[in-house]
Structure 1
Amino acid sequence: MMTFELFTRVALREDFSRYKLCRGDVATIVEYHPVANGEDGYSLEVFNAVGETIAVLVVSESQIEPLMNNEVLHIRVLDQAV
């Protein structure tokens, strides 16, 4: 069963140094990948501050979390990522 709906914005739960992404970075779900005997996954698209795609990656459901109404978005320079 799909926990997150398509085109929902979510936060990363961990760093993805290959893509220069950090825990807490925001991504948009663009595809759902159900797994019969394991953890479902999602394809995510990550945008820079002006809306250009900077990464597309596949993650397991446990690697993302919903955005909360008590959180605020933050800008950082991509080159300074982990």
Structure 2
Amino acid sequence: MIELYQRVSLNQNFPEYNLKKGDIATFIDTVPHPEGGEEGYVLEVFNALGESIDEVIVPKSAVNPLQENQILSVRSLIEV
């Protein structure tokens, strides 16, 4: 179970938010699906300096807790 304010990783891409599989965010809330579908997770996304840059809603199934055998990395938000 993912706890409130826990850092999580995405397990799929979200081009509409410029987020990619493996990006890390902080879980801040849940929202019900408006038509009874899968519950959503509200995530806060930070840049590498720890500054908040966005809040997004993704399906619960698109999020995984971080594991001790994983390592963090960085990527540019701007495509070159």
Which range, TM-score by smaller chain?
0.7 to 0.9
Task: Output the TM-score relative to the length of structure 1.
Answer: 0.83
Pairing of 1:1-82 with structure 2 (within 5 A)? 3-34=1-32, 37-80=36-79
Query: C-alpha separation between the residues in 1 aligned to 2:66 and 2:16?
Result: 23
Q: Which has the higher contact order (CA 8 A, sep 6+)?
A: 1
How far apart are 1:20 and its partner, in Å? 1.2
Query: Which runs of no fewer than 5 residues in structure 2 stay unpaired?
Result: none
Contact 1:20 1:79 in 2 (8 A): no
Q: How many residues align?
A: 79
Root-mean-square deviation over aligned CA pairs: 2.0
Query: C-alpha separation between the residues in 1 aligned to 2:32 and 2:17?
Result: 24
Amino-acid identity (%): 44
- Report Cα offsets for 1:7-52 as digits up to 9, x if no partner: 01000011111221110000001112256x5422210000000111
Query: C-alpha separation between the residues in 2 aligned to 1:77 and 1:4?
Result: 27
Moved over 4 A (4+): none
